[in-house]
Amino acid sequence: MKVLVIGLGGVTNGGKTTLAEKLKKMLPNCDIISQDDFFKPESEVETDERGFKLYDVLDALYMDEMVKSIRNWIKSPASSGVVTEELQNTCDNLKNTDDVYILIVEGFLLYNYEPLNELWNRRYFLTLPYEECKRRRSTRVYQPADTPGYFDGHVWPMYLKYKNELEENAINVVYLDGTKSQEELLPCVYSDIIQELKKLGE
Q: What positions carry a catalytic annotation?
A: 36
With vertex at residue 72, the alpha carbon angle to CA 69 and CA 78, rounded to the nearest 5 degrees, is: 120
Three-state DSSP class for residue 73: helix
* Number of other residues whose CB lies within 10 A of the CB of residue 34: 15
Burial class (CB in 10 A: 0-12, 13-18, 19+), 98: exposed
* Beta-bridge partners for 9: 125
Return the SS3 of 39: strand
| Residue 87 CB partners (closer than 8 Å, separation 6+) | 25, 26, 27, 28
Cβ contact 127:177 at 8 Å: yes
CA triplet 135, 136, 139: central angle to 5 degrees?
95
